[in-house]
């Protein structure tokens, strides 16, 4: 099935995954300044759940988190069967 063309003025969405509330807030403000609508997740598990409910154009993930680290989250995210592509980026502290 062919996907509809994106609207020219559609707002991009970003998911920020980090166990640090302060880091999530910093990245959210920066991405909002760049025109992204943001959502935050405290862990890779919470992020995977969010990804099953919504598409994100960009996902920024911390590398070291409890329960599921950033690398494991990226692998699990890429294993999801989604029709749309999201760019995932893990960062080291």
CA dist., res. 35 & res. 13, Å (int): 9
Per-residue pLDDT, 70: 80
61-83 pLDDT, tens digit per residue, is 888 888 888 888 888 888 876 66
Strand stretches in the chain, DSSP E = 13-17, 37-41, 58-62, 87-91
Distance CA 15, CA 8 (A): 21
Superfamily of domain 20-91: Response regulator (3.40.50.2300)
pTM of the model: 0.75
Domain locations in the chain as residue ranges = 20-91
Q: Buried b / exposed e across 47-67, counting CB within 10 Å, b at 16+?
A: bbebbeeeebbbbbbbeebee
């Amino acid at each position: 099935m062919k996907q509809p063309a994106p609207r020219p003025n559609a707002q991009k969405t970003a998911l920020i995954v980090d166990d640090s509330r302060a880091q999530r807030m910093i990245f959210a403000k920066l991405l909002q300044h760049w025109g992204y609508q943001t959502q935050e997740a405290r862990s890779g598990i919470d992020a995977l759940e969010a990804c099953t409910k919504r598409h994100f154009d960009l996902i920024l993930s911390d590398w070291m988190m409890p329960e599921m680290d950033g690398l494991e989250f990226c692998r699990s995210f890429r294993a999801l069967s989604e029709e749309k592509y999201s760019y995932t980026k893990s960062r080291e502290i």
